[in-house]
Structure 1
Amino acid sequence: MDSRFAVFFFIMGGLDGYLNECPTDCFGESTAPERWHLQYGETYFQEEITGDEFYLSYDLPHYISAVQPTIGASVTDTSDIWIGAGAKWSTERISDGPVYLELSLMPGLYLQGDGEDLGFPMQFRGSLSAGYHFDNGASLSVVFDHRSNANTSSLNPGLETLGLRLSWQTQ
């Protein structure tokens, strides 16, 4: 796995949690915006475009410290499937503006269809996105993510997606 996503996720989520949550309850739960996300993007393998991917995810309606639990699933036009669960951190916790950055880290299961051999079914999906929240609760973001097996197999080539994500709150 491209460890930069994991490092940034743990630094930002940990620092936010330490500074803003630990004075009262380091691992306490609080209310978060419940959201659905629909993403379309192009997949890249070895820096070559290999196809298209649709990705659906759901953010649970609470934070645990500074991170929000999330689940997701994607399918490519070559019938590859990825299903996972993890957490995300967003600058919306520390800024009231409409522009935001978001980091996520999600371990998951990769089921190879006619697409690329990623070496092992367990794939960690790390992402970085930048977006804009609209007044109606929707948001639009550009997302880059990387999937790999974090060297749990001798074959660990990785797969990237660059896409657009439309999100909406359910509350």
Structure 2
Amino acid sequence: MKQKKLYLFLSLVLFFTPVNSETEYSFYTGTFDTIDKEGDDEANLYGFEHNNPVLFRDTFVGKFSPITGGFVTDKSSIYLYTGVQAEYEIGPLNVVPSFAPGYYEEGDGKDLGMALEFKSELKLSFDIFKDSKIGYSYSHISNNDWGDINPGVDNQAISFSKNF
């Protein structure tokens, strides 16, 4: 059932993406709850992210664009999110901070306290080929103490991004 929700979400993202625009898709994998002290909630994560740079806004503090994505863990946890990212290019290096509220379902994984969770992330990526990037990201997900509990999780991931 949880995988069906993720497939439905990803299908909607692809369906509503304009065909004639340059769109960036990222696939990533990594570790969920990477600094878990007990080690019982750590899991592998597999994710997908969509960024439409045509919708960017160039401001005095950077280039901002919307992001949408989601991931599943091997413990059946799901996180679906949509938010905003900034992009700063330093030669072939891209520094990309982002913030995205989202829906979390714990499955057999870690209880984060509530369904509404917030993800803040810092990604460093390098241009490797024309329209392709490889990157490393570190993110934190928590509910800002709005839930009954707020253990939060820190995640690490390696990503591959391609513009179409």
TM over 0.5, yes or no? yes
| Cα distance in 2 for residues equivalent to 1:126 and 1:43 | 14
Match of 1:41 in 2: 30
Whether 2:78 is the aligned partner of 1:78: answer no
Whether 2:56 is the aligned partner of 1:63: answer yes
Q: Aligned AA for 1:112? A: E
Whether 2:81 is the aligned partner of 1:88: answer no
Whether 2:45 is the aligned partner of 1:53: answer yes
Whether 2:164 is the aligned partner of 1:147: answer no
Match of 2:113 in 1: 119
4+ residue runs over 4 A deviation: none
1:39, CA displacement in angstroms?
Answer: 0.5
Task: Give identity over the alignment, percent.
Answer: 23
Q: Aligned AA for 1:74? A: F
| Cα distance in 2 for residues equivalent to 1:114 and 1:72 | 21
Q: Secondary structure at the match of 2:138?
A: strand
| Cα distance in 1 for residues equivalent to 2:106 and 2:32 | 14
The two structures have a TM-score, normalised by structure 1, of 0.74
Whether contact under 8 Å (1:133, 1:139) holds in the other structure is: yes
Q: Secondary structure at the match of 1:67?
A: strand
Whether contact under 8 Å (1:33, 1:62) holds in the other structure is: no
Q: Structure 2, unaligned stretches of length 5 or more?
A: 1-20
Distance 1:104 1:33, change over 3 A: farther
Whether contact under 8 Å (2:96, 2:124) holds in the other structure is: yes
Aligned-residue Cα RMSD (Å) equals 1.7
What is the total number of aligned residue pairs between the two structures? Answer: 136
